[in-house]
């Protein structure tokens, strides 16, 4: 049976790309889409920024036809501001609107947005209702287990948000207090999935970084799909590898050096195309280590990549990596 969000058909067991600040921009989303991700989201966008028409917030609304289905994720602490931001985001014509109730970082959570709303479920419910009523699009939510170990309230959150109209819920298996430390706990996610009151799709998120883990947790925790974040950075092939295993029971070999270079190059070119040469080159620096992780003796090339400022020079180093390491493999 296909998993659906509104009229969006995501297939039997969708793989989703988690929204990640400063990571899941259009260039990164492109290489994930090329490797088989089923559903993606923009970086999270400040509702205040949208209403003020801040350039950075407005730029994050950029979506492209090849990315569909795609959701625009918004966050904020004020209900009326979130309602207005929903109207603005809906005009960018995404497939859905997603609300971030999970971001744990201080400058979001300590301003009453993101995961901080887990401490005020009444306000969270009212905010969600306002967002649902402000758009014709399906509304989904991403959240965490709770604020800390003493307040894991996502079971109640799931019921109440479903009651006001959300059409899917993604749950990161950590509390806000954990940030990204320790291990994600998916047992509460399974409890929510087993709740007879819950009719909407439940997606699990947190620590899925291999084919084996995806396959085991799919069965053990009974989720409707898996959302992957950090493990896809510099390794968009994770979606292709998991999908192939689900369909055939076989493991795909990892990407060759040539594939790593080609995808890194595509990411770089799109980054420059979307952000301009200076910013595009600068912001790619955070990705090089991940693209070439695990390759012995690649460090000197990586050091060059993060120091160069001319596009032609960076392409030259990528050529060198390709030639050098393909020779070694051969």
- For residues 280 and 272, give the distance between their C-alpha atoms in angstroms, rounded to a whole number: 4
32 as an active site residue: the answer is: no
Query: With contact defined as beta carbons under 8 Å apart, do 31 and 66 qualify?
Result: no
- For residues 101 and 24, give the distance between their C-alpha atoms in angstroms, rounded to a whole number: 18
* Full 3-state SS string of the chain: CCCEECCEECCCCCEEECCCCCCCCHHHHHHHHCCCCCEEECCCEEHHHHHCCCHHHHHCCCCCHHHCCEEEEEECCCHHHHHHHHHHHHHCCCCEEEEEECCCCHHHHCCCCHHHHHHCHHHHHHHHHHHHHCCCCCEEEEEECCCCCCCCCHHHHHHHHHHCCCCCEEEECCCCCCCCCCCCCCHHHHHHHHCCCCCCCEEEECCCCCHHHHHHHHHHHCCCEEEECHHHCCCCHHHHHHHHHHHHCCCCCCCCHHHHHHHHHHHHHHHHHHHCHHHHHHHHHHHHHHHCCCCCCCHHHHHHHCCCCCHHHHHHHHHHHHHHHHHHHC
Which is it for the CA torsion 222, 224, 230, 232, positive or negative? positive
- For residues 97 and 186, give the distance between their C-alpha atoms in angstroms, rounded to a whole number: 25
Mark residue 238 as left, alpha or beta (left: phi above 0; alpha: psi -120 to 50; beta: remaining). Answer: alpha
Sole residue written with tokens 């994600």: 184
Set 32, 103, 110, 264: catalytic member = 103
Catalytic residues: 103
């Amino acid at each position: 049976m296909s998993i659906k969000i509104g009229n969006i058909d995501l297939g039997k067991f969708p793989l989703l790309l988690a929204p990640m600040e400063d990571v899941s921009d259009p260039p990164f989303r492109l290489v994930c889409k090329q490797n088989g991700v089923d559903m993606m989201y923009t970086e999270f966008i400040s509702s205040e920024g949208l209403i003020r028409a801040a350039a950075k917030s407005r730029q994050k609304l950029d979506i492209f036809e090849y990315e569909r289905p795609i959701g625009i994720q918004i966050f904020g602490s004020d209900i009326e501001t979130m309602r207005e931001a929903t109207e603005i985001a809906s005009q960018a014509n995404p497939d859905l609107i997603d609300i971030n109730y999970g971001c744990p970082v201080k400058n979001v959570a300590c301003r009453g947005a993101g995961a901080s709303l887990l401490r005020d479920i009444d306000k969270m419910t009212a905010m969600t209702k306002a967002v649902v009523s402000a758009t014709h699009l399906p509304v989904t939510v991403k959240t965490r287990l709770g604020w800390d170990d003493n307040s894991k309230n996502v079971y109640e959150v799931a019921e109440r948000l479903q009651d006001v109209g959300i059409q899917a819920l993604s749950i990161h298996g950590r509390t806000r207090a954990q940030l990204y430390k320790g291990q994600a706990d998916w047992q509460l996610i399974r409890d929510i999935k087993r709740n007879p009151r819950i009719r909407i799709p439940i997606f699990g998120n947190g620590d899925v970084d291999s084919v084996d883990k995806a396959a085991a947790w799919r069965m053990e925790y009974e989720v409707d799909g898996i959302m992957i974040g950090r493990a896809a950075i510099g390794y968009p092939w994770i979606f292709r590898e998991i999908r192939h295993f689900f369909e055939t029971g076989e493991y795909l070999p990892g990407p060759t050096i040539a594939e790593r270079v080609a995808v890194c190059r595509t990411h770089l070119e799109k980054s420059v195309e979307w952000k301009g040469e200076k910013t595009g080159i600068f912001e790619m620096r955070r990705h090089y280590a991940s693209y070439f992780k695990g390759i012995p003796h690649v460090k000197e090339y990586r050091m060059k990549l993060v120091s160069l400022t001319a596009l032609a020079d960076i392409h030259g180093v990528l050529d060198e990596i390709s030639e050098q390491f393909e020779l070694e493999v051969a």
